[in-house]
Structure 1
C-alpha cells in the first residue's frame, strides 16, 4: 500500500497485506515488531491494523 492509497483511509480501517513485502516492512517499522511477530499477529487477530496493534500490545 503506498502513501497515496492510505491517505484517505481512516487509520482503523487500514489493512495489513502480508503478500506485499513493502507493506510488511512498513508495518514492522511502525509497530516495532519482527516479520514473524507481525505474521503471527495477523493470523491470530486478523488483517485490520488496529486489531494487530492491540494484539501486539497485549503480548508485550
Structure 2
C-alpha cells in the first residue's frame, strides 16, 4: 500500500503503509525488531499505528525476557 499524500487527517496518519519500505524499516528500527518481525506484526494486526506500536512493545519485551 503506497501512501496517498492527498489524504490528510487523523485516519491517514493513523495507518502504517506495509508496502512502503522506508516506513517498514523505520518501524522495525524504532522498536528494535527485524523487518520480518515488523512485517509479520503488520500482517497480523493491520495498519493501525497505535495497535502496532503496542504490539511491537509487547513483542520486544517478550523477546528480551522482561515481563510485559
Q: Same fold (TM over 0.5)?
A: yes
TM range (shorter): 0.5 to 0.7
The answer to which structure has the higher helix fraction is: 1
Q: Structure 1: which 5+ residue stretches go unaligned?
A: none
Q: How many residues align?
A: 53
Q: Runs of 4+ in structure 1 displaced over 4 angstroms?
A: none
Sort the Cα spacing of 1:45 and 1:22 in 2 relative to 1 into closer, same or farther, 3 A: same
Structure of greater relative contact order (alpha carbons < 8 Å, 6+ residues apart) = 1
C-alpha RMSD over aligned residues: 2.1
Q: Structure 2: which 5+ residue stretches go unaligned?
A: 63-68
Aligned to 2:54: 54
- Bigger Rg over Cα: 2
